[in-house]
A and B are shown apart, each in its own frame.
Chain A
Amino acid sequence: GNSVTQMEGPVTLSEEAFLTINCTYTATGYPSLFWYVQYPGEGLQLLLKATKADDKGSNKGFEATYRKETTSFHLEKGSVQVSDSAVYFCALRLQGGSEKLVFGKGTKLTVNP
């Protein structure tokens, strides 16, 4: 079946540290891949996306590259800030049909000053 696996959290970093959150997927066909972010008490917001192999999504200093050969979409940021503290969700969307998303379990990030 279709599934997304994220690294277990929580992740705690100091400000300006390098961030990597691993995400791998299993899917039939050629999915689009997404990272969503959820700040405390809020809904999910799209952070970045990639729709085909080797695409790189980027936003707010975050990046992720669609790697078909390793079925991965790891999220990276070179220097995190306290304001990046949130829960990050990796998700895939299959082509066509209802455009349903399949989510990973989420990774909670805490950045300390």
Chain B
Amino acid sequence: NAGVTQTPKFRILKIGQSMTLQCAQDMNHNYMYWYRQDPGMGLKLIYYSVGAGITDKGEVPNGYNVSRSTTEDFPLRLELAAPSQTSVYFCASSLGTFSNQPQHFGDGTRLSIL
């Protein structure tokens, strides 16, 4: 059972480039989340989804977009990369629907923008 899989693990981008961070889960979870982790700042929620076709903004959504066309996948897109988006990005999923189950996290994508 793979759990939550994120790709790539590392990436370096130039300012202005775009890229998509991939996230897939095989646990049939309804809810999925994207966080960014900056040093000494904990995790901040970027976007989340409570089911296929439904997405909503979190605490720090500016500069990012998401889609949720299937239950399994929840890609995060950076359209115009900026140095402020240098961070470690974590995807998470949970069963949701008031199941009282915890979130499961992927191993993260370390992104540097130069």
Binds B, one of A61-69, A71-79, A93-101: A93-101
Q: Which residues of A contact B58 (CB under 8 A)?
A: 100
B interface list, Cβ under 8 A from A:
4, 31, 33, 40-45, 48, 50, 56, 58, 90, 92, 94, 96, 98, 100, 102-108
| A-side contacts of B106, CB under 8 Å | 43
User: Given the known A-B contacts A98-B50, A100-B48, are A45 and B105 also in contact in the complex, defined by CB atoms under 8 Å?
Assistant: yes
Known: A32-B100, A46-B102. A100 touches B42 (CB 8 A): no
Are the CB atoms of A89 and B100 closer together than 8 Å? no
Interface residues of A in 42-58 (CB under 8 A from B): 42-46, 49, 51
In the complex, the answer to whether B31 meets A99 with C-beta atoms within 8 Å is yes
Chain A residues whose CB sits within 8 angstroms of the CB of B40 once the complex forms: 105-106
Given contact pairs A44-B43, A44-B105, enumerate 10 new A-B contacts (beta carbons under 8 Å). Answer: A43-B4, A43-B106, A46-B103, A89-B42, A98-B56, A99-B31, A99-B94, A101-B33, A101-B43, A106-B40
A4-57 contacts to B (CB < 8 Å): 32, 34, 36, 41-46, 49, 51
Interface residues of A, count at CB 8 A: 21
Closest B residue to A51 by CB, please name it: B100
- Which chain A positions have C-beta within 8 A of B105? 36, 43-45
Instruction: Using CB atoms, name the residue of chain A closest to B103.
Output: A101
- Residues of chain B within 8 A (CB-CB) of A96 are 98
Beta-carbon nearest neighbor of B98 in chain A: A96
State how many angstroms separate the Cβ of A62 from the closest Cβ of chain B: 15
B50 to chain A: closest CB distance in Å?
Answer: 6
Are A100 and B33 closer than 8 Å at their CB atoms? yes
